[in-house]
Amino acid sequence: MMHFVASKLRRMLLLYKKSKESGVNEDSEVTEDSKVMSFDKKKFDLRRVELLRTVGTGTFGRVIVVHDKCSQQYYALKILIIEELVRLKQVEHVKNEKSILMQLNHSFIVKLHWTGHDAKFLYMLFEYVCGGELFKYLREVGHFSSQTTKFYTSEIILALRYLHSLQIVYRDLKPENLLLDSSGHLKMTDFGFAKHVKDRTYSLCGTPEYLAPEILQGKGHNQAADWWATGIIIYEMLVGRPPFYDEDDNRLHIYQKIITGDFEFPNEIDDEDAKDIVRGFLRIDFNERLGGSKNDIHEILNHPWFSDISWNDVLHKKLKPPIIPNVQSDGDTRCYEQYYEQDWSEIPLSSMASRSLFKEF
């Protein structure tokens, strides 16, 4: 399988080798992460990587696990089609994602190492997180225990606290965007909706079941929207589905439920502290919401549900993860779904005008 993928996409890398003549820009700002193996962006060369297998697809491209034959390290290479980004007016969107990711340096957030482009594609090289999506494990067992839910919530909270300290709103918290590393700790990924927000922002984006009411009502939102989504994901881990759920997947019905804020816990959920923190996060008025003010992070950290948690131990990954992914190596891909391996060699070159939009990428 891996040999097949590499051979089918070899022509794409050959194009990259020639792209030096087309003005490929490999010089991108990067902040070293002491938690991640040292990466020298100045010495990195995309021509020396071996393409292995696709682990994710999207509207504009896909994510492929690659092996650096020089360093023997594995990475996740996000490949985006330039003309598709331009056609769908996503140019500033992608630039913003890169700008935010390059600032981030945290144990529970995936690391962007390098970016570049050629005549067809944009490239974003991330650390590879081999354990797969938290969603996969939740789907397999149906729901998590309170202790398991608490473990993952604690790592989510520290990641959000870090982002909010930089005035960044994440806006896409869901199990599909939380990856497990080989030891079972979380890595937050996909920052396509993330944004610097000093006061409020009014754009409508996110996944329907996780949207805060103020986003839907166009009242303007800030970091408190992430704490709403935290309440949603705690409930989902405990119960197996989001609190504002519609069996027919009718978005209008979902939005109506969110705006009214009416939800109940099943009888089998008997952890009162867990239920209390969910209710705190899911307050309709974001000024009253847990996490809704600058000082509320302390109220979150000191909530009774976390009474048996040492936040210092959480930060330094001293707590034992409840799930250890079944992986045999750093480049293992068994925890991800199988995807059709598309041959992109027939994708036409982007126009000079389109390419010029990403000359600093």
What is the token pair recorded at 329? 């190596």
Task: Scan for tokens 């993330």, then name that residue.
Answer: 194
Q: Taking residues 136-151, what's their average pLDDT? A: 98
Identity of residue 53: R
| Residue 78 assigned as binding residue | yes
Torsion region of 171: left, alpha or beta (phi above 0 gives left; psi -120 to 50 gives alpha): left
Judgement on whether residues 310 and 350 belong to the same structural domain of the protein: no
**Is position 126 within any domain?**
yes
Judgement on whether residues 162 and 246 belong to the same structural domain of the protein: yes
**Is position 215 within any domain?**
yes
Find the range with the poorest average confidence among 53-67, 250-264, 271-285, 332-346.
Answer: 332-346
Tally the domains of the chain.
2
172 in catalytic set: yes
Measured over the CA atoms of residue 253, residue 258, residue 260 and residue 264, the dihedral's sign is positive
Q: Are 59 and 84 in contact (CB under 8 A)?
A: yes
Cα–Cα distances in Å, from 56 out to 63, 76, 288, 340, 353? 5, 10, 38, 10, 29
Judgement on whether residues 123 and 253 belong to the same structural domain of the protein: no
Q: Where does the chain have alpha helices with state H?
A: 2-8, 10-18, 82-87, 91-101, 134-141, 146-165, 213-216, 224-239, 251-260, 272-281, 296-301, 311-315, 352-356
Judgement on whether residues 211 and 278 belong to the same structural domain of the protein: yes
Judgement on whether residues 147 and 296 belong to the same structural domain of the protein: yes
Judgement on whether residues 282 and 209 belong to the same structural domain of the protein: yes
Instruction: Output the domain CATH number for residue 188.
Output: 1.10.510.10
Q: What angle do helix axes 272-281 and 224-239 make, rounded to 10 degrees?
A: 150
What is the percent of the chain with per-residue pLDDT over 70, rounded to a whole number? Answer: 89
State the average pLDDT for the chain.
89
Tell me the pLDDT band of 27, cut-offs 50, 70 and 90.
Answer: very low
For residue 19, pLDDT over 50 is answered with no
**HSE value, Cβ hemisphere, 13 Å, CA-based, for 124:** 26
Say what the pLDDT of residue 40 is: 74
For residue 164, pLDDT over 80 is answered with yes
Q: Taking residues 142-158, what's their average pLDDT? A: 99
Q: Which of 33, 118, 172, 190 is catalytic?
A: 172
For residue 67, pLDDT over 80 is answered with yes
**Is position 44 within any domain?**
yes
Domain that holds residue 212: 134-315
Instruction: Output the domain CATH number for residue 67.
Output: 3.30.200.20
CA–CA separation, 273 vs 325, rounded Å?
A: 29
**Is position 322 within any domain?**
no
What is the token pair recorded at 275? 């239920």
Judgement on whether residues 338 and 299 belong to the same structural domain of the protein: no
Judgement on whether residues 247 and 345 belong to the same structural domain of the protein: no
Tell me the pLDDT band of 129, cut-offs 50, 70 and 90.
Answer: very high
Judgement on whether residues 113 and 200 belong to the same structural domain of the protein: no
**Is position 323 within any domain?**
no
pTM of the predicted protein model: 0.87
Q: Which residues pair with 81 in a beta bridge?
A: 121
Judgement on whether residues 202 and 339 belong to the same structural domain of the protein: no
